[in-house]
Structure 1
Amino acid sequence: MEVVFEAEPWLWAARKTESWTFVSLPVDASAEIRERAGGLSRGFGSLRVRATIGGSSWRTSIFPDSGRQAYVLPVKRAIRTAESLEVGNVAAVAVEVVDL
């Protein structure tokens, strides 16, 4: 299953000195992924994916976020740098769920 969408990166402060950057998958696509996964998940409820933003592709995992009712995709610094992506920008994102 592949989901293509636009999203704005946001920060999650994991600790006082550490933050992570994510994009949220659309709520409706997240519901479909949950349904198709049928309880299949890895640590922290994650599912393996191949993600693409701009010309950059990488393998990672998406994680359920009950507060957003959606899966969230971590976007590592190397990708953000390569794509000149900052919080507040909007990015075209493609996520292919590998575990389904």
Structure 2
Amino acid sequence: MNSKFSGKIFHWRGPAPYLFVAVPPAQSEQIKAVSGWVTYGWGVVPVHVRIGKTEWKTSLFPKDGKYLVPIRMSAQKAENLKEGDVVEIALEIRL
């Protein structure tokens, strides 16, 4: 499953501070529909992410009915990203 969307980067002060982008509700519902086949526990979903020219593998985290895309530090540096930026994201669920 592939998806493209834009979203605003935010800082979440959870157990490990990180920058995230929330997957929009419609795409989150689609991901949730297939999550049972791909999750490896706790509802996380393995994905391949691309922002600009930077690509990486990570996992989406479920939060309040949506999924969160963690933005790695290497991607933040490569794409000059910071909290508040709006980014275009392409994701592919890894099987």
| TM-score normalised according to structure 1 size | 0.86
The letter of the residue matching 1:72 is L
Task: State the Cα RMSD in Å.
Answer: 1.5
Using the TM superposition, give the Cα deviation of residue 43 of structure 1 relative to its aligned residue in structure 2, in angstroms.
Answer: 2.9
The answer as to 2:7 corresponding to 1:7 is yes
* Distance of 1:19 and 1:37 partners within structure 2: 25
The letter of the residue matching 1:77 is M
Report the counterpart of residue 24 of structure 1 in structure 2.
22
**Computing the radius of gyration over CA atoms, which structure comes out larger, 1 or 2?**
1
Counterparts of residues 1-100 of structure 1 (less than 5 Å): 1-15=1-15, 18-38=16-36, 40-66=38-64, 69-99=65-95
* Distance of 2:93 and 2:8 partners within structure 1: 20
* Distance of 1:37 and 1:77 partners within structure 2: 26
| TM-score normalised according to structure 2 size | 0.90
Q: Which sections of structure 1, spanning at least 5 residues, go unmatched?
A: none
- Equivalent pairs: percent with the same residue? 29
Q: How many residues align?
A: 95
